A and B are shown apart, each in its own frame.
Chain A
Amino acid sequence: MSPIHGMRPPAPVEFPSTAGPLRPGAGGPSFKTIMAQTVEKVNGLQKNAQATALRFLQGEPVEVHQVALEQQQASMAFDLLVEVRNKMVSAYQEVMRMPL
């Protein structure tokens, strides 16, 4: 009798954290680097989700819930990224509006 394989638990999305007081020029990754890394991670999640969905359509023995979970993960990560970007843009705009 073949062993029952459990589902892979969904991998948590880790956004790199920069805990600690902000010190100008104190080293550590710049925001640009963090954003780039996060975009890469989200892109990776989306590519995985697409690949799994395609394999399901092609008739390979992929479970529907696997497809569903990966799609949702990728979607949530993407939405989170977009929100973060929007917040950054509006913060920038607010700073630009400040009278000198």
Chain B
Amino acid sequence: MSVYDLDPLLLARIQFAFTISFHIVFPAFTIGLVSFLAVIEWRWLATRNTVYRDIYKLWVKIFAVAFGMGVVSGVVMSYQFGTNWSLFSDKTGNVLGPLLGYEVLTAFFLESSFLGIMLFGWGRVSEKMHFAATVIVAVGTLISAFWILAANSWMQTPAGFEVRADGILYPLNWLEIIFNPSFPYRLVHMVIAAYLTTAFVVGGIAAWYLWRKAHVKHARIMLGMAMLMAGFVAPVQLFVGDLHGLNTLQHQPAKVAAMEGIWENETGAGLRVFGWPDEEAEETKYAIEIPKLASLILTHDMNGEIKGLKNWPKEDRPPVAIVFWSFRIMVAMGLAMILTGVMGAFLYWRKRLFESKPFQLWCMAMTPSGFVAVLAGWFVTEVGRQPYTVYGVVRTADSVSPVLGQHVAFSLLAFIVVYTFVFGAGSYYILKLIGKGPVFKPVDDKPDLPGREAAPFTPTAKPVSGEK
């Protein structure tokens, strides 16, 4: 096969999957992280406990790196719709364009402008203004999530539009477009996911500090906050995820059939814990089932009916194996998070939360769980939407740009090389910052405004060795 035979559609899909997967990791982390920072800064201003200030200074540096990588990988996204999906852009621009436009106007500028104050304004603006900047950036990330998830949800459950004779989609009702049927579920599910992702990163790092007996005061606060999230919010996510699944069953039953690996219409369908969906043979091989559980979860009735994939012609089905497996990975991560919360609560009750070594190891292992769950979840929802870009309206094959396969191959290769290098380096610097820990240098507070009391250099803020 020569480069001239490369399938531009497949390559464009791989390129989009690759760049968006890299991108989503950063917003998923920063949405939660900046809210965490806002809480920490509020505690610092309220208690004047320098431990909080040091935690802020550590995580704001990590936030800067992660946010920078999110920005640059996000700029790529805003151009890729045109470079690789120009027919999609032409058809859906009337509907999706305004949503993305609002995201830039109401969120991106807000975040990027006040980020400057958040990162470099310490000591230059008043403490209240600095806190306000942190809160504004946090609100900005949530506004951004609102618009981008409205756009994505509309692609999943399109509403409030019509297709005219020219083949172009035109808006009929903006409220129906924005608040399309799957939007509320996806928004809540994703924001909670972002918060949990951050919680498990913060908790994992805290556990590592406790393991090394370094920065113990900081680590206790960080682990405590992470466990609050794991204990109270992870179970809520299970409930929200269930609602989201019911919504998907209603609007995209083929996706649910792929998630469950169900081929025939079944009443009292069993939950396939494991199995191998075989798209040629149209069956899920080697399945280990829990009887009736899938029907119970999806229809809230032991004998409810679930439609199988064979209801749709082969060319209208999503790729089954990816959806099936990604869904299991996501659920497994979610259950592990809930388990962490339960263990945390138990240890807290036994007053061993900050001492138990096995639990510290477990938390360290759980550090990337949020990222894994977020990526797996997006694989479920995006691959499950195939073979459409706008579900039931615009097919993926009718969305791609008239660009030759070899050029997409070139750009895909370039993205893989550059992203691996750049984001590898970014991860390395984040790890380096974590390794250094919340060490407060008095130099950081130097550009104090006249008349403002300089922050005292207290024993809690001593370098690493001082705490051992």
Tell whether A and B belong to one assembly: no
